[in-house]
Structure 1
Amino acid sequence: MDLSEHYNQLYKKSAAAILAGNYKLDSQINNPSDSRFGITLLIRPSEKIKAYIQLFLNELKAIEPTQYYYPDADIHITLMSIISCYEGFTLDKISIEDYIKVIQESLINLGKIKIEFRGVTASPSALMIQGFPADESLNNLRNKLRENFKKSTLQQSIDSRYAISTAHSTVMRFQEKLQNPEKLIAVAEKFRDYNFGEFTVDKVELVYNDWYQRENNTIHLHDFDI
């Protein structure tokens, strides 16, 4: 299944569930004792694209003001979840330099990564911006990271939840009962094929993060120029 079809199927299934009241609330967003942390390699979209995303979010906020919306500083694409968030993980359990070295090796001879943000999709618990890589550069980098980390002895959980293959960005999560599910889906439909813009990735970031990539819980570990 190609990426466009994957997003389409996800949207159709999730929109139907939302309208039927079968959506899922995230009970952990406001839990101050949530201790799920991990390390992630991520991509940040351009400021221009984030401005267009906020236009979309502002329309959603007008009808669903009590949901969880990602601020600009938290919007990202997960390039690779190297250690998936789990309870009690702390940085003193690993050597950051060893991880940096493996990532640097994976970036050798990498082509330019271009990503187009076009349209929105949904899950039963969130709304996402659809990302479309221009070519295979992103997949090639992910495969190199998989190969190099599996050859190493470093703690990692790559692909343990699922094999990442998309380039989406989650921008809204359901944290309370929806007040206007029909209007929510109407806004999603309005932006279903909206062109948020294209950007060329000039760096990727290694971070220690919570489940939601909140800036105030994130420790920046390293930037890799590409």
Structure 2
Amino acid sequence: MNLTEHYNQLYTKSSGEILNGNYKLDTQINNISDSRFGITLLIRPSEIIKANIQLFLDELKAIEPNQYYYPDSDIHITVMSIISCYEGFTLDKINIRKYVDVIQQSLVHLDKIKIEFRGITASPSAIMIQGFPTDESLNNFRNKLREDFKNSALEQSIDSRYTIATAHTTVMRFQEKLENPEKLIQIAEKFRNYGFGEFKVKNMELVYNDWYQRESNTIHLADFYIAN
């Protein structure tokens, strides 16, 4: 996949829909009875990058204070949704150790991963920071995960919603009617190619999580350290 082209197409289409009032509100964010949970392998960006992201979010909050903004603790890149969130999933349904073992097996041939965060894109319901892996290491690792989980007997729903191929991080979701969509897009344009920073991935985390990766609902399951 050409990530630049993918992000550009997504932004062009979504920014037009936002300006035309055709954006989508997430009605589940504040639903305390939302029982959608899953397990995810993820990467967290560096502290410097998260600080740069918050500077961007501060500008958005000034004109759209009632939207949902990700705190530093929740900002992440999804490496793979091993079990995509669904209602009623609980950890007692799986053997965590077996999942850790499969991931360790996949990690054996992993090269170093470096990711650059540059610019922003959008969907009809969210604003995202664009992530660009500097080589094919992340894609190769994802393919090895797919193969190894497919060859296991473990419950998994990899690629059931969509085939993950990007390295973006979602940082804002629309939960209320936008007060000023034109100004929102102006700020988005300002940061369209902004350099948020580059970092080497030092570790990945396996977590039990809700749909929004909120820290308060997350259970840390395992760390996987990557030699740099």
What is the TM-score of this pair, normalised by structure 1? 1.00
Quote the residue 1:75 is aligned against.
75
Question: 2:112: which partner in 1?
Answer: 112
- Cα distance in 2 between the residues matched to 1:160 and 1:8: 24
Opposite residue 100 of structure 2, the aligned amino acid is I
Deviation at 1:110, TM superposition (A): 1.0
Deviations 1:130-189 (A, max 9, x none): 000000000010000000000000000000000000000000000000000000000000
How far, CA to CA, are the matches of 2:157 and 2:201 in structure 1?
Answer: 25
Q: Which consecutive unaligned segments of at least 5 residues does structure 2 have?
A: none
User: In structure 2, what is the Cα distance between the partners aligned to 1:101 and 1:182?
Assistant: 49
Aligned mates of 2:129, 2:97 — CA distance in 1: 33
Supply the RMSD in Å over aligned alpha carbons.
0.4
Q: Which sections of structure 1, spanning at least 5 residues, go unmatched?
A: none
Alignment correspondent of 1:175: 175
1:90 maps to 90
Structure 2: distance between partners of 1:32 and 1:143: 35
The SS at the match of 2:157 is coil
2:52 & 2:3 partners in 1: Cα distance? 22
Match of 2:221, SS?
Answer: strand
Instruction: Measure, in 1, the Cα distance between the counterparts of 2:76 and 2:99.
Output: 20
Matches within 5 A, 1:28-107: 28-107=28-107
SS of the equivalent of 1:101 reads helix
Cα distance in 2 for residues equivalent to 1:124 and 1:39: 25
Deviation of residue 109 (structure 1)?
A: 2.1
| Distance in 2 between residues matched to 1:110 and 1:70, nearest whole Å | 29
Q: Which amino acid aligns with 1:202?
A: K
Residue aligning to 1:214: 214
Residues 162-219 of structure 1: per-residue CA shift (max 9 Å, x gap): 0000000000000000000000000000000000000000000000000000000000
Take 2:109 and 2:133, find their aligned partners in 1: how far apart are those partners?
18
Q: Give 2:188's aligned residue.
A: 188
Q: Distance in 2 between matches of 1:180 and 1:112?
A: 42
Query: Percent identity, aligned pairs only?
Result: 79
Structure 1 consecutive aligned stretches of length 4 or more whose deviation exceeds 3 Å: none
Residue in 2 that maps onto 1:12: 12
Letter in 2 for 1:166: T
**Matched residue of 1:5: which SS?**
helix
Secondary structure of the residue that 2:172 maps to in structure 1?
strand
